[in-house]
Amino acid sequence: MQRALTQWKRLLPWGKKSRLNSMDGFQKVLTVLLVVLAAFMLLPLVYIFNHALKPYQELFIYPPNFFVREPSFQNFVELFLVASSSSVPVSRYLFNSFIISGGAVVLVTIVSAMCAYPISKHKFPGHKIFFATILLTLMFAPEAVQIPRYLVVSKLGIMNTYFGHLLPLLAMPVGVFLLKQFIDQLPNELLEAARIDGAGELLIFLRIVIPVCMPAVATVAILTFQHSWGNTETSTLFMQDDEMKNFPFFLSTLTNGLANSVARQGAAAAAALVMFIPNLLIFLFFQGKVIATMAHSGIK
């Protein structure tokens, strides 16, 4: 009977031995420091939610409050009223944003993977120079390539089209770098065995490389979505028709052209939260893949 009670207690959450009891003093101190650091990194997330719920009297109070004292949804009501009075329905802006972000995630992932695979596993002449050139593009500021991008998009005749949104987003050096470093860990013997069995390069790429590199693919997808979802450059430079502009561009115009700097600040605070939530949900959904990529897990 006593033995059965002991086993039953072990099954209960409070009956299990805490991991802290098996840690030494240094590990406990390190755990506490990491928890404090994690709480500190959550402060921007807490602030953006509190800021969106602040009434006007709290938005401009000095010194500013970190936490909202009198939560209100008035900012979201104001954002809805502004959106409903727009000449172009806000649903059109949202539709454009989802089309652009979804298309960018798919195309950038495909292009980055197809670029990283031959650099990693097919040592063609000049592959190191080619990869170094891709990494060199990380040094260019976005403003330095705006004019060349505009000329390319203009010459191709894709202004006011969805492809005009997508083409400037296709080149993602960070995505190529992450996927190349991940593919480097694939054993060459595995690919050779597939070739001996008669598999072509396309089949190897789709059936072996991509499934094994899914953590890196998910990371590239997250980075691409974050960049494309909040991007206003293509709408500002390449789109003249309002019907082809995206939701971030519409939100950026909420406080433009007003007689003072106070009007619509509540709507802007609510809009910032609306823009942030999709990024948060995407990251939470794929966070396990991101951690696996950063740890260079390779083949299990």
The predicted structure's pLDDT at residue 283? 79
Q: Is the peptide bond before 63 cis (omega within 30 degrees of 0)?
A: yes
Quote the pTM value.
Answer: 0.77
The reported pLDDT for the residue numbered 294 is 57
pLDDT (tens digit per residue) in 199-256: 888 888 888 888 888 888 888 888 899 889 988 888 888 988 888 998 888 888 876 6
What structural domains and CATH numbers belong to the chain?
A: 2-78 (no CATH), 88-294 (1.10.3720.10)
- pLDDT tens readout for residues 60-74: 777 878 888 888 888
Q: Tell me the helices (H) and strands (E) count for the chain, helix number first.
A: 17, 0
3-state SS of 67-98 is: CCCCCCCHHHHHHHHHHHCCCCCHHHHHHHHH
Tens digits of residue pLDDT in 34-49: 889 988 888 888 888 8
Answer yes or no: is pLDDT of 146 > 90: no
Which has more confidence, 165 or 264?
165
**Regarding predicted confidence, which is higher, 288 or 297?**
288
Question: Alpha-carbon distance 167 to 146, whole Å?
Answer: 13
Two structure tokens written together for 119: 């650099």
